[in-house]
Amino acid sequence: MIIPIIIRALLEEESVIISGFGTFSVQHNPSRIQDDIVFPPQVIVAFEYAKEADGFNFVSKLSQWKQIRIDEAQTEITEWVNLLEKGLESNKTVFFDDFGTFSKDSNGKIVFQGVAHSQFNIENEGLEPIVLPLVEDVATHTKPKKDKRDVLVKKRRKREWVWFSITIAATIILLLGLFYKESLFNLFIKNAVNEIIIDTPDIPLVAEIDSNNLDTVSEEVIEEIVDKPEVNVASKPVPFEATNDKYVPYREGYYYVIAGSFAKEEDALRHIQQKKLDKYSAKIVVQPTNSRHRVCIGVFDNEKDAVNFAALIDKNYWVLK
């Protein structure tokens, strides 16, 4: 199924191009007011149809994540696109649960209406639409009767002021939440990672493996490798923190073997315990440009060794570079 792969790719990048079909992207919709209801901000998937689109990067990701050849990945994508186009020939719409609806406009161009996917709206979780109360004029019997047109104008202005005030308040609360979240992250996580980078001596991660003869490596050899963190897996020593800290900083030029990617830190730590990844000195990769919590079991200074090591441990593991 292509849809889960598209969602997974969009969690890492802002857009995904499908060859001969178009571009999916992440669309951030701010809060809005409609019919006396304040709707919270939403993140949905948008789509722009383009037959000339070239999406080799997505083909490569599909090949890597499903452990299939490039040509097989391209064939699978092409078959999905053909099936969707054929479905729109006999139906007005084609709907995918928790993703969105495809249809055709009057010119025969494919259009898409996305829905709010839970994985893209973690920060907005719990926010519900707010129904605005009606503001009425309360007149005492001692006051003279007012022109009905003046009363209606004042009511309308009061309602508009209430809507405006609620929207401003909601926006300020959202911005403050995002600001303090980022500030706390910088204070307690990034500073700690910087201290580790500066103060911790470089310690090699795992033993050297002949990448051309991986089939001859037994499970006992692998266990021996992960139990000896003082030996290199690559041609150069690759640093890994020599502390009990659960984080490892992301550095350009290195390749990280990832055993799982999670939106929440507690899920990542639970994954380490359930999969018994402590024997690999598993840590969570801290990447300032990405909020995902990725479980890392090895760091390499070249992609080939990283890919071979990942395949040797579990074919579902992948390499962050």
- Specify the CATH number for the domain of residue 32: 4.10.520
Q: Are residues 187 and 233 in the same domain?
A: no
Question: At 229, which CATH number?
Answer: 3.30.70.1070
**195, 223: one domain:** no
pLDDT of residue 207: 36
- Within a domain: 127: no
Asked whether residue 215 falls in the same domain as residue 256, the answer is yes
284: in domain: yes
User: What's the 3-state SS for the chain?
Assistant: CHHHHHHHHHCCCCEEEECCCEEEEEEEECCEEECCEEECCEEEEEEEECCCCCCHHHHHHHHHHHCCCHHHHHHHHHHHHHHHHHHHHHCCEEEECCCEEEEECCCCCEEEEECECHHHCCCCCCCCCEECCCCCCCCCCCCCCCCHHHHHHHHHHHHHHHHHHHHHHHHHHHHHHHHHHHHHHHHHHHHHHHHHHHHCCCCCCCCCCCHHHHHHCCHHHHHHHHCCCCCCCCCCCCCCCCCCCCEEECCCCCEEEEEEEECCHHHHHHHHHHCCHHHHCCEEEEECCEEEEEEEEEEECCHHHHHHHHHHHCCCCEEEC
Percent of the chain with pLDDT over 90: 27
Residue 231: pLDDT band (50, 70, 90) is very low
Does one domain contain both 101 and 31? yes
Q: What's the whole-number average pLDDT of the chain?
A: 78
- State the total domains in the chain: 3
Identify the sign of the CA torsion 173, 179, 262, 24.
positive
CB 298 within 8 A of CB 311: no
Q: Which residue has the higher pLDDT, 86 or 241?
A: 86
Task: Identify which of 11-15, 115-119, 137-141 has the greatest average pLDDT.
Answer: 11-15
pLDDT tens track for 120-165: 778 777 677 788 776 554 444 455 566 667 778 888 888 888 889 9
Whether 204 is in a domain gets the answer: no
Domain span at residue 235? 211-320
Query: What's the mean pLDDT in 45-52?
Result: 88
Domain membership flag for residue 145: no
Cβ contacts of 42 within 8 Å, gap of 6 or more: 29, 116, 121, 124
Residues 158 and 252 in one domain: no
9: in domain: yes
Up-side HSE of residue 172: CA atoms within 13 Å toward CB? Answer: 6
Q: Which residue has the higher pLDDT, 229 or 272?
A: 272
Residues 246 and 286 in one domain: yes
Tell me which of 240 and 58 has the higher pLDDT: 58
Residues 14 and 109 in one domain: yes
